[in-house]
Amino acid sequence: MTSVPTRVAATLSFRNIGAVYVWLAIVVLFSVWAPDTFPTVITVKQVLNGNAVAGLVALSVVPPLAARVFDLSVAYTMSLTSVLTAHFLVSTGLGPFGAITLAMAAALLVGVVNALVVVVLRVDSFIATLATGALIQSLITMVTNDSSITGVQLLAKPFANLAQLDAGGITLPVLYLLLAALAIWFVLEHTASGRRLYATGFNADAARLQGVRTDRLRALTLVASALLSGFAGVVFASSVGSGSPTAGTPYLLSAYAAAFVGATQLRAGRFNAWGTVLAVLLLGTGITGLGLATSAQWAASLFTGSVLIVALVLTGGRIALPTVLRRRTATPPGPEHPTRRADDESRSVPAGGTRT
């Protein structure tokens, strides 16, 4: 049994919470670089409020990634619900509840279509969701003619309060982010479905041999991803007071950057909710600091892309393979058993791959 100091040292190690130390270093850097504008309470509120929607989109990709499924349609789904909510409010006379309900129904439909294509038709998730995104973009163009939808209905209560109501300068989207992270954390870490989801992500074939309904889990993650990214689109429309046909485009790269950085934190090697939130705040702090310290438009994209590359390097060999290899060396040899054979088969699959 490990001692308390050992457990504390492991918890506070760079390997476990390295992003926290990087985050603190970024804070110090920009506090020195822009001492008049960065180290203020206003900046703290700006980081929290300005990255809540980005955090929702980032969390939307965590369940699919935990099951080794990519959903590249989240940005398009966000744009879709943004413009549909605005369209129903401005052009049809529906109230906020009806408009949001119809927009979320569209997001649900996107999730179901993704699940059918990926799980039933066995199309690679990367290609399938990218194709779905192209179809969604065509629908968005048909509805908006590539122009933002504006109207006084989007600026009026109660719809505006959905994102603009605040307490002490902290807006409601920050609360939505915390609730979404709490829900995903609970499902992944404290339910049997979460354990089965991780098992599916490590190796779907081995999990299937153990009786896990991998196809159902993968389908559900795609539906959940579409619903959460769709909700992010509704919140975005309420926040800016318009429905933008490109609302979700800037969030796709940062969402995956945050998810992969999050996979190196707290639960190293596993995509997790709180690590993703931490990564969102790290990225948001860096981008906000760059905005305050320099006017270069390319700086934010450079920062996000660099962080994503570093995260991929750090997670590439740790998400699946080293964990099972360590487990293998720690398991004493014994008589052949069907369960052990299935586990051995899972170890023969490279990280991120599936057996054919």
Supply the pLDDT for residue 194: 95
Most confident residue range from 89-93, 226-230, 279-283: 226-230
- At residue 254, φ and ψ (nearest 5 deg) are -65, -30
pLDDT of 308 reads 74
Contacts of 216 (CB under 8 A, 6+ apart): none
Mean pLDDT across 88-117: 95
Q: Which is nearest to 66 in space by CA: 259, 228, 313? A: 259
Q: Which amino acid is at 70?
A: F
Tens digit of each residue's pLDDT (9 = 90 or more) over 291-320: 888 767 788 888 888 877 876 676 655 544
Q: pLDDT category, 174, cuts 50, 70, 90?
A: very high
Spatial distance between the Cα atoms of 346 and 353, rounded to a whole number of angstroms:
10
Q: What are the C-alpha distances in Å from 182 to residues 71, 72, 95, 178?
A: 21, 23, 30, 6
* Of the candidates 228, 247, 227, the residue with the CA atom closest to the CA atom of residue 82: 247
Mean pLDDT, the chain, whole residue set: 86
Tens digits of per-residue pLDDT, 234-275?
A: 999 999 999 999 999 999 988 998 999 899 888 878 999 999
Q: Residue 339 pLDDT > 90, yes or no?
A: no
Confidence bin at 66 (pLDDT 50/70/90) = very high
User: Could you tell me if 249 and 95 are in contact, meaning their C-beta atoms sit under 8 angstroms apart?
Assistant: no
Percent of the chain with pLDDT over 70: 87
Average pLDDT over residues 116-126: 95
Average pLDDT over residues 84-95: 92
Q: Which of residues 346 and 185 earns the better pLDDT score? A: 185
